[in-house]
Amino acid sequence: MKILVTGANGYLGQGIVRQLLDDGIEVIAADFSTENIDKRAKSISCDLFSVQDPFDYFSKPDVLLHLAWKNGFVHNADSHIVELPLHYRFIKEMVSGGIVRLCVMGTMHEVGFYEGSINENTPTNPKSMYGIAKNALRNAAGLLCEESNVVFQWLRGFYIVGNTKFGNSIFSKITAAEEKGDKLFPFTMGINQWDFIDYDDFCIQVGAAVEQREINGIINICSGRPEKLSERVERFISENNYKIKLDYGKFPDRPYDSKAVWGDDKKIKQILEERLQKTKE
């Protein structure tokens, strides 16, 4: 199997590429910069949306894992809507070229304000430009794959916990603030309950999902349970032996954030269980 991973130099891409390589997958890794990509991959530095005949350009991969996305943590940036047609055009050209499976990184923000467990049948009503654009791409790409007889996997990501300072999540920002020597980190009241998944587990789940083709459609990349934001962040600080303290109440909660939401992990658990069974055989 040969997988093209776009956005491979990003926060998620680096770990996912490494996981795929560890699993014995041939990886073509594409991004504007390739400096942080695992050297075992075939890295290609390019402007994804300017490539002509991308299927041939990227050596005719079997699978496209599309992670590329700008401003994923700036939820109302104009780029989400402006670049949506570019993502669709690139995906369409890859489908027309001959990929047999399309995997795209989604987000729980496609769902919008919701309380409870999210599964593949949960209605979507996104409340941010990020969620609106991702949801539109999901619908368009799914229809395209259906018409073209291409297997489609939409990997709906939840809240990722990692201790690198190079990401844009609250955990990355806390790590960066700790390294700067900050005493306090401005915070909300932290009462929302969300589905948190550790970075390494996230990469394992993505790898397991894209390395198989029996379970498709929307696949939640998640822990399957809610945890209060304040408790998870405090635990993160403790786990990493940080000295920084949370300064509660400095920011309001975002009005479009759900009070309690988590992913239904039925599909990903089945994928992981079947993967484990195959390794035993």
What is the rounded CA–CA span in Å between residue 43 and residue 54? Answer: 15
pLDDT for res 232 = 96
Angle at 233 between CA 227 and CA 236, to 5 degrees: 110
* DSSP one-letter string for 50-101: G-SSHHHHTT--SEEEE---S-TT-TT-THHHHTHHHHHHHHHHHHHHT-SE
Mean pLDDT of the chain: 95
Residue 166 has pLDDT above 80, yes or no: no
In this structure, of 55-59, 74-78, 139-143, the range with the lowest mean pLDDT score is 74-78
Decide: 199 and 169 in contact? Cβ < 8 Å.
no
pLDDT for res 164 = 80
Decide: 43 and 21 in contact? Cβ < 8 Å.
no
Class of the CATH-defined domain 2-160+195-224+260-280: alpha beta
Among the listed residues 67, 235, 274, 273, the one whose alpha carbon sits nearest the alpha carbon of residue 154: 67
Higher pLDDT, 279 or 51: 51
pLDDT for res 22 = 97
Residue where the block lists tokens 């790898």: 207
Say how far residue 3 (Cα) sits from the centre of its chain.
Answer: 16
pLDDT for res 168 = 75
Q: Provide the whole-model pTM.
A: 0.94
pLDDT in tens, 73-125: 899 999 999 999 999 999 999 999 999 999 999 999 999 999 999 999 999 99
pLDDT in tens, 215-261: 999 999 999 999 999 999 999 999 999 999 999 999 988 777 888 99
What is the rounded CA–CA span in Å between residue 39 and residue 18? Answer: 9
Structure tokens at 228: 């209060």
DSSP reduced 3-state for 246: strand
Mind telling me the catalytic residues? 130
- Cα end-to-end distance, the chain, whole Å: 20
The residue extents of the domains of the chain are 2-160+195-224+260-280, 162-193+227-247
Residue 65 has pLDDT above 80, yes or no: yes
Decide: 224 and 264 in contact? Cβ < 8 Å.
yes
